[in-house]
Amino acid sequence: MTATRPGVGDKRRHFRQLHASGCFVIPNPWDPGSARFLQSLGFKAIATTSSGFAWSRGCPDNGISRDVALAHLVEMVDATDLPVNADFESGFARDAAGVGESVRLAVETGVAGLSIEDSTGDRAKPLFDIDVAVERMRAARKAIDKAGGDTLLVGRAECFFVGRPDLDEAIVRLKAYANVGADCLYAPGISTHEQIAALVKAVAPKPFNLLVGSASTLTVAGIAELGVRRVSVGGAMARAAWGGFINAAKMLADQGKFDGFAGAAPGAELNRLFRGDENA
């Protein structure tokens, strides 16, 4: 099993320690190169992004198969010395047994943590009924425990992402996931100080993950003061990269101009990074 590879246990222990106190940023690369660059900046952990990776494969978010996602997790774990948290979407299954099997396979890739969403992908009924969602989370917890229990489980309430911005519902769901073994809780889409503080208080003493996926007046220091334990950015970095690419490509196609290359990273700098002599 890949989970027994040298260093995986240390990464998982370090990852859990990061959640014990303070606040840390867990940025979201979409390929090995972006992962290694983030490591070079001194980040303590990284998380995959289902959207960023899907776009790199020419697919929409949630358009990747489980096998492709698992291969990507192996690639990302191997690319960096940092703990990797997997954006594992909805567990690539609807029923609890299927989620458990998917989580077992994800743990074998060597990830230090993984998240399970409660969204269905069905616009008419965007969230699993809470009883079903809880059983899915319970199955994920059992799969992790059977494998050794050291992979961090993140429970996600997708209410704000699927058009049901009900803070009370998000709190009920996150508390239920915590009660069946989620180690860290996450409600992407919240943005106000009041919402953040309410969710941090509701899930305490377990850590809360905040998503900051767009330009914001929030700062890491200010977020930390609200009691948030970790901050992720989802597909925002991938979208920023796509923004630069799209701008340069459109300028070339529409105007015949090369001005879009003005902010491009120097090739020599990238080569130094990927040779391993970025400090030279």
Quote the mean pLDDT of the chain: 96
Torsion sign across C-alpha atoms 46, 49, 52, 54: positive
Domain range annotation of the chain: 2-234, 236-280
Check residue 160 and give its pLDDT. Answer: 97
Q: Look up residue 138 and give its amino acid.
A: R
Q: Helix (H, G, I), strand (E, B), or coil: what is residue 58?
A: coil
* Range 2-234: architecture per CATH: Alpha-Beta Barrel (3.20)
Check residue 76 and give its pLDDT. Answer: 98
**How distant, in Å, are the alpha carbons of 43, 46, 92, 225 from that of 29?**
12, 7, 21, 26
Collect the ranges in the chain with pLDDT lower than 50: 1-3, 280
Check residue 277 and give its pLDDT. Answer: 77
Residue 203: in which H helix or E strand, if any?
helix 193-203
| Interval 128-176: pLDDT, tens | 999 999 999 999 999 999 999 999 999 999 999 999 999 999 999 999 9
Check residue 3 and give its pLDDT. Answer: 43
Query: Which tokens belong to 2?
Result: 């890949």
Check residue 278 and give its pLDDT. Answer: 53
Q: Look up residue 84 and give its amino acid.
A: V
| Interval 102-131: pLDDT, tens | 999 999 999 999 999 999 999 999 999 999
Contact of 197 with 179, CB cutoff 8 Å: no
